[in-house]
Amino acid sequence: MKLSGVMACLLLVGMAFAGAGDGSWLRKVSEKDRARLNPLANDPDAAAAGAKIYAEHCASCHGDNAEGKMQGRHYRPNLHSRRVKEATPGQLFWMLTNGSLRNGMPSWSRFPEPERWQLVTYLKSLH
């Protein structure tokens, strides 16, 4: 019983610290990239297309509902977090393009730009 209580406490502490990774990636995004606008922001089909991409490529780490999850000893961030909500479309696009290997986030630069923007549209639709 004590062990499960300790594990639960560690999980909660990890979740409190994780948010959306450690946020250090935000400092790497140039002002030019930060200011990029989503060319698909007003496309009525972009969020649905992004949801399909998310389900196929992102849900295994971030959870089916983008609420984050434990994966081994690592907490994968909740994409409903304030940090993601407040990120600009350009910052999210930069993260998808460059990843953050230190935090376990791969680069998705092999996806065509429109697919990355569809993912950004989907992520923004969560808020």
pLDDT band at 21 (very low <50, low <70, confident <90, very high): low
Task: Give the residue from 105, 76, 110 showing the smallest Cα distance to 92.
Answer: 105
Both structure tokens of 59? 């849900």
pLDDT of 30-74, one tens digit each? 999 999 999 999 999 999 999 999 999 999 989 999 998 887 877
Q: Is 19 exposed, middle or buried (0-12, 13-18, 19+ CB in 10 A)?
A: middle
Q: Is the dihedral of CA 22, 76, 54, 46 positive or negative?
A: negative
Determine the pLDDT at residue 22: 60
Determine the pLDDT at residue 3: 44
Identify the structural domains of the chain with CATH numbers, from first to last.
2-125 (1.10.760.10)
pLDDT band at 7 (very low <50, low <70, confident <90, very high): very low
Greater confidence, 21 or 40?
40
pLDDT at 18 over 70: no
pLDDT at 25 over 90: no
Task: Indicate whether this model's pTM tops 0.85.
Answer: no
CA atoms within 13 A on the CB side of 6: 3
pLDDT at 8 over 90: no
For residue 15, count other CB atoms closer than 10 A to its CB.
Answer: 15
pLDDT of 92-118, one tens digit each? 999 999 998 877 889 999 999 999 999
pLDDT at 126 over 50: yes
